[in-house]
Amino acid sequence: MPLTKHLLADKRLLFIAIIYSCLITVLFFIPSQDLPKTQLLEADKIVHILVYFILVNLWMLYLYVSNDYHFEKKWIPILLLSILLYGIIIEIFQGLFTVSRSADILDVVSNLLGSLLGIFFFKIVKQKLKA
């Protein structure tokens, strides 16, 4: 791939990852009465799993592409810890700065589960594409 095309691809992926991260940050602070109502408590946890599954995959894809389609295993704990810390901070801020939302440890667990599923998914897809 030509260098300019490679650099532009990196910037597009970085832009997408940053925009998605900002978007979910905003969405996690929308008052809960403005969100669609569901009868299932588990629906909230499934949303957290899906959101963090996508988040971790976007950042892993960016790291993978920006490093010439090479992914070092040492990045996984750093990325996982960063995203976990991000999720914990969001939950704390929800509890401190919003009226209609509260901090929920089960949301943090769901975030971690989504992140782990995302990492395993990325690794499986990467292996399948290389084969």
Domain ranges of the chain: 3-130
* Residue with more model confidence, 78 or 40: 78
C-beta neighbour count of 101 within 10 angstroms: 20
Is pLDDT above 80 for 37? no
Is pLDDT above 80 for 10? no
What pLDDT is stored for residue 39 in this prediction? Answer: 57
User: What are the pLDDT digits (tens) for 47-104?
Assistant: 999 999 999 999 999 999 888 888 888 999 999 999 999 999 999 999 998 888 888 9
- Residue 34, class by beta-carbon neighbours within 10 Å (0-12 exposed, 13-18 middle, 19+ buried)? exposed
* Residue with more model confidence, 11 or 35: 11
* 82 contacts 34 by C-beta, under 8 angstroms: no
Q: What is the pTM of this model?
A: 0.85
